[in-house]
Every structure is written in structure tokens, then in C-alpha cells.
A and B are shown apart, each in its own frame.
Chain A
Amino acid sequence: MLSRVGDSTYWLGRYIERAENNARLLDVNVQMLLDFESRRDGTERQFWGPILSTLEDTELFDGLHGEFTAAAVLDYVTFEPRNPNSISSCINYARENARAVRDQISSEMWEQINALWLYFRDGSAARDFRANSHEFYDKVTYASQLFQGVTDATMTHGEAWRFVQAGKFIERADSTSRILDLKYHVLLPSGEQVGGNVDTSQWTSVLRSCSGMEAYLKIRKGDVTPWGVAEFLISHDEFPRSIRFCVDRLDEVLHDIASAGEGRFRNEPERLSGLLRSQLDYATIDQIFRQGLHEYLDGVQEQIIRLDIAFHRTYCAY
């Protein structure tokens, strides 16, 4: 497979996943704020600032917007063309990448991504957003999941498919770590206790942003605690959006791509994914909280960035 094709399929996987994660994140935040409408004693920045911090977008946003309002943040993360990570930009990039490798992906995949792009381009997306933002974000999420399903069901599970998977899982691992980190940026309103109503509700939103509410409740029997949620989203080995699950799958596809056996490595990306994988396998939640959740997640994100760079150097720009 051409290196350029590898690069494009990898980013196709990443951008679609990123669009979906942004949609979830915004949707859940909107909903959570509805619960606290009456108690909003803080500023808009207090409620929406964490979203931007999580996405590392605060600076660009401040440069584009004079005022900090919920509507401005939603628009910035959803539609802003100058924000390279807005949902709309992600869909553009995903389609550009798909267009560059149309000969490698199935027609069904192309039509799915192209339909999503048209939905944004012809103004239907903006219209739906204004009518009902929850339904709109749901639509984006489903479109991404439909794309993943169509990809699995119609594309040869060969090298190009593995690159799409690598992109998807690296993005999802990164995204889950950021969503979990969201709680670090969210301040409790004054007078609220850790473990109190508001705190629990915030952790619940974190879970819902990762579609993890139901799975978590089955496993933890209704007990939403900070360490419970963190442990679940970091190291559960069967929940498909936990960091560990994503890194496990990533490590597997990297081995398949390089055709080395598990537990061995042939190149830098495999070495780094193996390293991250074993760290996640043996991490305990006590140790993570002792180190500091935010610091721990920062470290994970840094390792993911190094892995991305190594991957790119090994397969795409040697």
C-alpha cells in the first residue's frame, strides 16, 4: 500500500472518530447544564471553559470571539471553519482523505462520508442544530457509527483497513483521556461537596460522554464514584471506549501491520504501543490517584502523541 494511502486512511479513521467524540461531548454538556439551570451562579466561562480546555482550543477561541457565551462555544466546536477541530472541519478533512483514497475504500464508505459532508454543506446541519441540538448531535454520532459499521462490513480487512482502525483507536484513546480530564477543569460550585449531588452528576456526564453509563452501572451496581468512573474509563478491558481497550486494539493492529508477533516489536510505533499497553495493564487506580488523575492523563496523552509521530515516521514519511 502507498504510504500516502496509509496516511489518508489513518486520518480518515481519526477525523471521523473526532467528529463523533466532539458531538458527544457537546451534547452531554448541554444536557448537564439543563439540570443546573436554576443554580447557575457562575459565569458562562465556568460552564463552557472546560470544554475548550479539554480540546486545547481556548486560545484560538479567544482570538475569534470577543464574548464568552454558550452559543459561541457550541458554534465554535460544531461549525467554525477556522477551528481545525470543529465537527464540520473534521468532516471536511475526513472526506478529503476519503476522496484521496477512493480507490481503496468501498463505495458504501464513500457514499456515507459524502452524505454526511453534504448534510453540513447544504445547510441542513445548521438547520437541524437550531431546531433541536440534541437530535442534531445524535445524528452526527449515528452517522459516524454507521460509517464504522459500513467500514467493517464492506472493506477488505487488509492493510488499509488496519490503518483506519489504528486512526480510530488512537483517536478514541486520546479522546477518552480528554473527556475524563474534563472533570479536572470543572470546578464545583461553591458550597458543593466532593461526592455530593453536583459532583456525582458531573461524573455521570463524563460517563455519558463516552456512552459508558449503562455499562458502568451494570458493573458497579449504581455506585458512581470518582475512582470508579476513572478506573472504568482507564482500565476496563472490555468496554470499547476505555483507554486500555483502545490501546489493546491499537497494539494489535500495529502488530498486524508490521506482522510481528504479540509481545515483540519490530519498530518504534510498536515499541511505544507495547509500552503503553503494559502500563495500562498493570496500573491500579490508587496509584493513579496518588500521582494525580490529571497528571496521569497528561502523561497518557503525551505517549499517544509520541506514538502518532513514530507511526507517521515509520509508515508515511520515511
Chain B
Amino acid sequence: MSSLFRNYDPADFFDEMFAAPGEVRPHYRMLLERAEGLTVDDFNRKRQIAERAYLNQGITFTVYNDKQEGTERIFPFDLVPRIIPGDEWRHIESGLKQRLNALNAFLHDIYHGQRIVREGVIPEEIIRSAKHFRPEFMGFDVPRNIYIHVCGTDLIRDRDGRYLVLEDNARCPSGVSYVLESRMTMKRVFPQLFARYGVRPVDRYAQDLLDVLRHVAPASAAGDPTTVLLTPGIYNSAYFEHSFLARSMGIEIVTGADLVVQNDRVYMKTTKGPKPVHVIYRRIDDDFLDPKVFRPDSLLGVPGLVEAYRKGNVSLANSIGTGVADDKVVYYYVPAMIKFYLGEDPVLPNVETFLSAVPSDRKYILANLENLVVKSANESGGYGMLIGPRATKDEIAHFRGLIEADPRNFVAQPVISLSRSPTWCEGSMQGRHIDLRPFVLCGEEVRIIPGGLTRVAMREGSLVVNSSQGGGSKDTWVLDGGSASC
């Protein structure tokens, strides 16, 4: 076996590459063969090339509350790809499409008749108290009835290799730029690896996204809409991605200060005077969009934007108010939604979840805090989370207090032993936990680029894959053919 993988120990986890020590899974066999001639020195050289490429291109993200000099960091990138056989991907894909259709149906329903509440599937209280529910938009019809145009759904695999949905990101999911950049980097560093492997390309994404944005343009744009990407600015953690996507789509990237609203129409300030804008791919949360309607202290947004949106003069992607669908309490009800709106069984199951709002669940949660993962309903990026088995007594006591004070805002899940992938750490191949965030686009039809962002928890034993918490990424290969078992 290749020297890189010789002493690799898959241990007692679901390992993506090895079914057992020395027993490679079929879809990784060719990778292992091609790694044969590669020495540790070769591998390290390749790592340096990749790292330099990332650094030179400024592929970085910004960490909040980081007191060190500079706030930009490179996203750690691991060279061992995560490979998904064709049949496995088709299963994932059908589950994601189903889920997005259900979420869009749910959002339409929740902002109109609320049939799902009236028929007793979801308690009214849950919707009313959801932090990102926007009652101001009750009865409002969004362009083409699409609420979530871009969805990032986080998947994990359990000890048996089953794909489970961990959470939905229905507001401004980020990470897709790393998918595209890491593929380019891998091709540059390991051109010979790709030959005849049958890896499905990912570079359609920008074009697909632009198609989605143009699809929802208001009729007034007369077939030639001006589309822009609205960013909070260069200090935002995802700014690299914003500018990357704008460049890849060939559209302007704007900040709130570049836009003005006159007579309920949106214009951008150009050197040749104001120019009308029809579609805004906004990477700013609802709260900051328009100081006249939401947070009055927001300097990022555009006064009057929401009124222009209401009048149908400008379209927003994603729509306002989609955050109610990725509330972690609402997540609990997604399988029920799928049944309710589509009459189907969920293809991809949820992780078993307990709601502290439900008295019997709460009792169970409080009695088992040291064995559970507790999440607050509306935090992301790995913030506001308790991992019971890793927590100190004080942290557990702290969360106990939080849950008792505000039971609506917490859910708990058993600790899932996430699947692992060989990852180069401190000079050897070691197993590290990974997840997967595919990017789902909804325009004329639902489209998903093959694969998505595989995040890896670089610290030994860690289950937290978020970039803000020391996570890295891997290139994700979806194969044309192949199945996990052949």
C-alpha cells in the first residue's frame, strides 16, 4: 500500500475510504493506487503549492473576536479528496430536492393561509416565536413563488454510513466559493489523479446561480435585468466568496452605500449617474437590509429597499423571511412537512432531535445534558452550542440555566459519531470527522452542483467542522458511475 496510507487506522468509526484496516472501499481504490508512488516529501511539496496558491489568491475568511494581528485566515485545505459514488449521490440529490420543495411550500404556506398550523402539524406558537419569522410579509407574493433560491443543507453520516440532515441554511449559506476554488487547486496540484476517474465537474455553479437570479427578475426589467450582489463589505467573513461569485457571474458587487432608492426603485450610483437595479443577490441578513423597516441602526442596508421589493420593482434572493425555515426548532418538523405538502416519506432523515419546548423532551434533555449536543435555535457557525460529553461541569450548568430560562430556543440531539476521512495532520494520515454541505439552487428547476463543501474538523476527536472553530475543507468528488458496494 502507498506509504502515505500504510499505517492509517480507520478505528471504530465509519471511515469514508477504508471499510477496515487495509481494506479500501472500491471508489477509493484508484486513488490509493495513484498515491502509490507518492512519498511524504512529494506530498508535502504538493501541500505547499496548494497553500501558496490559496495565500496568493487571498482565499481567506475573517474570524470574529480575533485579537491577533489581522483578521484574515486561510481556510485549511486537506489534499485527500472525499469521494462519493454516483448512486450514493443520486440518493442524496433526490433527498435534497424533496427537502427544498417542502421548505419552499412551507414558506409560502406560513406567509399565507398557514394550513400546516391550522391542521395541527406545527404548533402556532413555534412559528410566532421564531426569531426570523417576518409577520410584516404575511400575504406577500414573492416573485415566481420561490422563497429559498440558494440553500446550504448540512449532511452528516452516522456510524453506519447513513446520510442524515443536520441542519438547513436557508438565508445566506456560504462556502460554495471554496468548492470551486478547491477543485481548481486540486486539478493544478494533482492533474494525474483526475485522469479517467470520472469526477463530475462543478464549474457550472456560477452560471446556474445567474440563471436563477435572472429567472426571478421583475417583468419591468424587460428580459435584460441588471443583477448585483449585495455584500456587507470587505470586512465580512465571507467577503472573498462574495467577490468571487460576483466575478464568476460577471455582475457588480455592491455595498448598501452604492445603492439608492428613488420612487420605490433601486439604483446603483455609477460614475455616469444612477443606474436601475432589478435583482439583488443579497448576502446580508434580513435584519440589516433596510434601516427603515428592520434594524434602524444598520449601516449596511439601503433605506427604502423593502418598499421597492414590496412594489415588485426589485427581486431579492433569498426572499425576506426564509430564516423561519432554518430555525432549529422548525427543523424538527421538516420530515412532517415533507409528508404534509408532498405526501412522501423523507429520503434523507433528520438527526433524532428533542425540543426543550416540549415538557417531556425537556425533562429528558435536562437529565441527560452530559450525553447530548445542545444547540440554540438561531445561532450558526458553531457558536451557541454545547457538546455534552466534552463540556465542563460549569458549561453544563450554564446551559441548564439557559434552557430553563428560554425553553423555546433550544434543541438537543444525541452525539452522532460523524464519519471520518483520512486527513493529513502533523506529518501522518489520520482519521478526522467530516460533514457535507451541498448547495441547492431553485430557479426554473432545482439544481445541485455535484458534491458540495466537505468540511473537516482538523483537531483530533473534534466534531466541530465550522471554519470559525478551526475546521478545514476537502475537495468533494462525485463520480459519474460507481456504487459504494461494487
Residues from chain A with a CB closer than 8 A to the CB of B255 are 4
Chain A CB within 8 A of B70 CB: yes
Q: With A and B bound together, what is the CA distance between A107 and B254 in angstroms?
A: 19
Measured between C-beta atoms, what is the minimum distance from B144 to chain A in Å?
27
A256 to chain B, nearest CB (A): 12
Chain B residue nearest in CB terms to A97: B234
- Please state if B270 and A2 are interface contacts (CB–CB under 8 Å): yes
Q: Are A4 and B247 in contact (CB under 8 A)?
A: no
A111 & B57 in contact (Cβ 8 Å cutoff): yes
Given contact pairs A99-B234, A102-B243, A114 touches B271 in the complex (Cβ within 8 A): no
Complex Cα gap A316–B168 (Å): 40
CB pair B246 A103 closer than 8 Å = yes
- Interface contact A107-B57, CB-CB below 8 Å: yes
Q: How far is the CA of A111 from the CA of B55 in the complex (A)?
A: 9
> From residue B318, how far is it (CB to closest CB) to chain A in Å?
21
Give a binary string over A85-113; 1 marks a CB under 8 Å from any B CB, 0 the rest.
Answer: 00000000000100110110001001100
Bound CA–CA A114/B70 (angstroms): 14
Q: How far is the CA of A2 from the CA of B271 in the complex (A)?
A: 6
Q: List B residues 230-271 near A (Cβ within 8 Å).
A: 233-234, 239, 243-244, 246-247, 252-255, 257-258, 268-271
CB of B360 closer than 8 Å to a CB of A: no
Task: Count residues on chain A whose CB falls below 8 Å from chain B CBs.
Answer: 24
With contacts A4-B257, A110-B58, A114-B56 known, is A103 near B271, CB below 8 A?
no
A101 to chain B, nearest CB (A): 8
Choose one: B56, B233, B269, B271; the contact of A159 (CB below 8 Å): B271
A1 touching B270, Cβ below 8 Å: yes
Task: Please tell me if the beta carbons of A1 and B246 are within 8 angstroms of each other in the complex.
Answer: no
Which of B233, B244, B252 has the most A CB atoms < 10 Å from its CB? Answer: B252
Produce 1/0 per residue, A146-172, CB < 8 A to B: 000000000000010001000000000
Main secondary structure of the interface of B (DSSP, over half): mixed
Query: Residues of A contacting B70 with CB < 8 Å?
Result: 121
CB-based nearest A residue for B254: A2
Question: How many residues does chain B have at the interface if contact means C-beta atoms less than 8 Å apart?
Answer: 23
A3 within 8 A of partner (CB): yes
Decide: A103 and B57 in contact? CB cutoff 8 A. Answer: no
A102-B243, A103-B243, A114-B58 in contact; A2/B234 too (CB < 8 A)?
A: no
Measured CB to CB, the closest approach of chain A to B375, in angstroms, equals: 33
| Residue pair B271, A1 in contact (C-beta under 8 Å) | yes
Chain B residues whose C-beta falls within 8 Å of the C-beta of A102 in the assembled complex: 58, 243-244, 247
CA distance A165 to B466 in the complex (A): 42
B243's nearest neighbour on chain A, judged by CB, is A102
Q: Which of B234, B247, B272 contacts A96 (CB 8 A)?
A: B234
For A2, A6, A257, A316, the residue with the greatest tally of chain B CB atoms inside 10 Å of its CB is A2
Given A3-B258, A121-B70, the answer on whether A257 and B56 have CB atoms closer than 8 Å is no
In Å, the complex CA distance between A181 and B56 comes to 38
Q: For residue A318, which residues in chain B have a CB less than 8 angstroms away from its CB?
A: 269
Closest A residue to B269 by beta carbon equals A3
Partner of B271, one of A6, A96, A100: A6
Knowing A2-B252, A102-B247, A103-B243 touch, does A118 contact B55 (C-beta < 8 A)?
yes
**In the assembly, what is the distance between CA of A2 and CA of B228, in Å?**
11
Q: Which residues of A contact B55 (CB under 8 A)?
A: 114, 118
Q: Which residue of B lies closest to A114 (CB)?
A: B58
Q: How far is the CB of B121 from chain A (nearest CB, A)?
A: 44
Task: Given A114-B58, A318-B269, output 8 extra A-B contacts at Cβ < 8 Å.
Answer: A2-B269, A6-B271, A99-B234, A99-B239, A114-B56, A114-B57, A118-B55, A316-B271
**Interface set of B (CB-CB < 8 Å, partner A):** 55-58, 70, 233-234, 239, 243-244, 246-247, 252-255, 257-258, 268-272
Residues on A close to B: CB < 8 A? 1-6, 96, 99-100, 102-103, 107, 110-111, 114-115, 118, 121, 159, 163, 257, 315-316, 318
